[in-house]
Amino acid sequence: MTRPGAAFEVGAYDISDQVTAADLLGEETRKRGNSISDLRFSDIEEIPVNTAHVSGGAGRIYEGIMVSQSGSVAVEGDLYAIVLDDGSGYTFTTTTQRGYYADHEAELQFMVQSVLASIEARS
């Protein structure tokens, strides 16, 4: 379900509802082995995301420069948290490269569809 050139990756964390943006960012950083600079945190804002299968919430929790320790080029991007309202208790994170999508709502829709595809692939 990925689009050619899409700069994102889906990761799943079984976390409590009390998780903070810093916690999620820490999980993502540890998973990737990245160092991150120029942090600008915002509260996780619930944004309705409706698909044929699920209604969830998503919010941008990081905005800034992601720098890989392996020496790859720094990318300006965003880290989003997506919470699925399906009772699974899972919160998913995705990252996107800045400017890949012109439409914020379309970006979130694609992220949720990607999460659903990831769940189905593991089943």
Q: Is 5 a member of any domain?
A: no
Residue 17 pLDDT level (bands cut at 50, 70, 90): very low
> Which pLDDT does position 76 carry in this prediction?
59
Residue 100 lies in a domain: yes
Are 47 and 88 in contact by the 8 Å Cβ rule? The answer is no
What's the pTM?
A: 0.41
Residue 23 falls within a domain, yes or no?
Answer: yes
Higher pLDDT, 62 or 1: 62
Q: Measured between alpha carbons, how far is 101 from 42 in angstroms, rounded to an integer?
A: 20
Res 8: pLDDT: 35
Residue 42 lies in a domain: yes
- Kindly state whether residue 3 falls inside one of the protein's structural domains: no
Give the domain extent around 36.
10-118
Q: Is residue 30 part of a domain?
A: yes
User: For the segment 98-112, what is each residue's pLDDT rounded down to a tens digit?
Assistant: 555 555 566 666 666
Alpha helices in the chain (DSSP H): 21-32, 104-122
CA angle 112, 15, 11 (to 5 degrees): 40
Residue 37 in any domain: the answer is yes
How many domains, in total, are found in the chain? 1
Question: What does pLDDT average to over the chain?
Answer: 54
In a domain, 51, yes or no: yes
